[in-house]
Structure 1
Amino acid sequence: MSARNLRRTLIIIAGVTIFAGLLYWQLAPKSPPDRSTRSAERPPAPVSIAVATRQDVPIYLTGLGTVQASFTVSIRSQVDGKLREVLFTEGQRVKKGDVLAMIDPRLFQAALDQAKAKKKQNVALLAGAEKDLARSKTLAQKDFGTQQNVDQQQTKVDQLKASIEADMAEIATAQTQVDYTAITAPSDGRVGVRLVDPGNLVRASDAGAIATLVLTQPSAVHFTLPARALSDIRNAMARGPVEVTAFDQDNSRALGTGKILLIDNVISQATDTIRLKAVFANDDDQLWPGQYVNARVLVTIQRDVLAVPSNAVQRGPQGLFTWIVTTKNTAESRPIQIGGTTGDLTVVTSGLAEGERVVTDGQFRLQRGGLVSVTAPRSVEGGRGK
């Protein structure tokens, strides 16, 4: 082999050796980095926290309810006739006794006049019969008349007196019919939509009403709670009036505050709930009949208890727990026991100490012993973190 060929062969062998070394370095398994080093390289998890504090916590129960007017009446005619005029405006507030509509009264007035005339006729006949009776008695005393004539005259007088009493009843009936032609408001309230227009014939037997009158001040709220809350409600009522706050359907705006009036006398076995009724002054008309509301009942106030925001409480396979932030700004999970819950506030009975920092947001980023970066801590007060 010539020197040139030998040199070329050596160059090729050297190139293959270098390529094989590089390939092995790329494909060879690498040992995992130290866990402590990897943990140190993980950035702190950002979280929001709150400080567990001791305070007085109100305990509420909330149920779905409906608003009911304290007085609802259908405005109807009590006599048959033509609706002559309607004297209210739809949505108008009226007072008890205000005339709302008029029925044509002419037929009823004629019947009343006829009854009065008949009574006058019988009164005149009675006067003549009483004079005849007096003469018959005088003649009988002088033996110019018989007792039979006296008895006949007495019977006639008694009949006429009975007729006059019947006339008076007929007059009262006819007067009532005339009075019914003026349809009046049976109470204060607000009139709804007019359902019958003037000129239509209305009857006392009609299924439909001319309008509906409702009294919304005060108003009532009928709502339900789980039957297991019955003892708590009864105990609260034994201590005094129980406050109820009505919220809108979104549970974001208070519509009024009232008091529980009564608890229904039976528990619904179908739903295992108890029905309650609360009364609200409703001076600002925030509660409207038929409206759905959330009724929040103040059952009791727990004094000097440890409380945290409800979103700090987590549920895991082993039960309830919360993430806390240690003094070294590391995360630690802590099993806890809770008492009552109200709004965004939960009472913790064991597992936490006053002043400890609990995580309220960002829990999904946490691992035990991992570093965290926290926002400014907030205390828990009055059911809301501040």
Structure 2
Amino acid sequence: MHQIAPVIHSPPFSRSSGRTARLLGAGLVICAILSGAATSAMASASTMVRNDHGLLTVTPDSPLAARLSVTPVTLASPSRTIPVPGEIRAEPSQSLSVMTPVAGAIISLPVTAGDHVTRGQILAELASGDMAQATTDAAKARAGLDYARRALLRAQGVASAGGAATRDVEAARSAWLQAQAEDDRATARLAALRAQPGQGGVIRLTTPIDGMVSAVNTAAGAFVTDPTAPLMTVTGTQQVWAVAAVPENLTDAVHVGQTVDITFPALPGRTTHGTIAAIEPALHSDTRTLQARVVLANDDDTLKPGMFATVTILTPQPPRIMVPQSALLMNNDTVTVFVEVAPHAYRRRDIEIIYDNGDLCEVTSGLAAGDRVVTQGAVLLNDD
């Protein structure tokens, strides 16, 4: 009898099962590689940093040492900034009303409002009877003085030759002194009119400062009868005031001599620096503000009176220990930093700080001036 051997059927081999096997094999290889890399990295880290009861020593030639930045702690005097609204104003001593010293008719008015003028430039010309009288008096006084001088010299010559009495010389001397006084009076009158001999009945009004004609209150052909009425106003623009309105609750923090930064909504990107020159002694009752004045140079004439501004007053603070926020490490509820206690040796230290919006924060305890703090790469150190 023949035995029939059992036939065992194996499942057919598929491509998908082969791909799965290859992927599993590759995964095992990658895991082995990563495990070896992690083990190598841990071994490398342990060789770069040595922990001796919290004292971390970094190998000088290690890559970690190159990534650490250490900065000495110094005292800084940050400034508290107080921004307040402000306004550009013309300096009162540089704003002049132009008036005529005598009555007369305006025969020439070569300027208009908005014109720039320079010192000595003619603003208006007037025909005036008073001016004509003043120039005539000056001419007569000069002629009389010249006649009296020659008469005195003649009398002195005759007296020295023995042909004239002493009283004749004294009379000539008295006449000369009176003529001298009359000439002085006439010359002073012309000086008060800001006129020169020979101008006749025409008086020329000139500007005593460089500036801009801000207002004109008359016209050519008008007859001026009131010498106290301003014909025009000239405003000096070489210097202006920035007037800051300081709120009542901040007045104690503002003092003469403080530095300010001034910006202008109408001039984006421009910042002008100055110092507080004066502070008004009394508050304005309607706004409850104290006005602080800053004198600004305005050679380019870009700062116009009436222009709005923001005046930022810089108030110096007492010296404080400041560190970069990049040096801070959070350890549970404690803020710490790494302090270099020896070359390439660091120890963690607890500190107390006051956070600020900038890159620096104030340290209230835990550090002293001169301590060397790790400001970059502190997170790479590990003393756990």
TM tier, smaller:
0.5 to 0.7
Deviations 1:219-244 (A, max 9, x none): 21112324554554449x4xxx6132
Tell whether 2:276 aligns with 1:276.
Answer: no
Tell me which of 164, 189, 213 is aligned to 2:211.
189
Letter in 1 for 2:222: N
Contact 1:94/1:188 (8 A) holds in 2: yes
Contact 1:256/1:282 (8 A) holds in 2: no
Tell whether 2:232 aligns with 1:211.
Answer: yes
What CA distance in whole angstroms lies between the structure 1 residues aligned with 2:314 and 2:264? 13
Structure 2 spans left out of the alignment, 5+ residues: 1-76, 197-201, 326-352, 364-384
What CA distance in whole angstroms lies between the structure 1 residues aligned with 2:78 and 2:131? 67
What CA distance in whole angstroms lies between the structure 2 residues aligned with 1:224 and 1:278? 12
Tell whether 2:155 aligns with 1:132.
Answer: yes
Instruction: Give, in angstroms, the shift of residue 261 of structure 1.
Output: 3.5
Structure 1 spans left out of the alignment, 5+ residues: 1-55, 307-336, 351-386
Normalised by the length of structure 1, the TM-score is 0.52
Within 5 Å, give how 1:57-72 maps onto structure 2. 59-70=80-91, 71-72=94-95
Aligned length: 248
Within 5 Å, give how 1:1-386 maps onto structure 2. 59-70=80-91, 71-104=94-127, 108-109=131-132, 111-136=134-159, 138-139=161-162, 149-150=165-166, 152-176=167-191, 177=193, 178-179=195-196, 181-203=203-225, 205-207=227-229, 209-226=230-247, 229-230=250-251, 232-234=253-255, 237=257, 242-248=259-265, 253=268, 256-264=271-279, 266-268=281-283, 273-283=289-299, 285-300=301-316, 304=323
Normalised by the length of structure 2, the TM-score is 0.53
Deviations 1:305-334 (A, max 9, x none): 87xxxxxxxxxxxxxxxxxxxxxxxxxxxx
Greater RCO, CA 8 A, separation 6+: 1
Q: Calculate percent identity across the aligned residue pairs.
A: 17
Letter in 2 for 1:182: R
Contact 2:214/2:234 (8 A) holds in 1: yes
Query: What SS does the corresponding residue of 1:116 show, helix, strand or coil?
Result: helix
Contact 1:339/1:346 (8 A) holds in 2: no
Contact 2:213/2:233 (8 A) holds in 1: yes
Contact 1:87/1:101 (8 A) holds in 2: yes
What CA distance in whole angstroms lies between the structure 2 residues aligned with 1:284 and 1:256? 14
Query: What SS does the corresponding residue of 2:169 show, helix, strand or coil?
Result: helix
What CA distance in whole angstroms lies between the structure 2 residues aligned with 1:169 and 1:340? 74
Query: What SS does the corresponding residue of 2:171 show, helix, strand or coil?
Result: helix
The 1:137/1:339 distance shift into structure 2, 3 A limit, reads farther
Query: What SS does the corresponding residue of 2:219 show, helix, strand or coil?
Result: coil
Letter in 1 for 2:263: A
What CA distance in whole angstroms lies between the structure 1 residues aligned with 2:148 and 2:238? 56
- What is the root-mean-square deviation of aligned Cα atoms in Å? 4.1
Query: What SS does the corresponding residue of 2:170 show, helix, strand or coil?
Result: helix
Instruction: Give, in angstroms, the shift of residue 265 of structure 1.
Output: 6.2
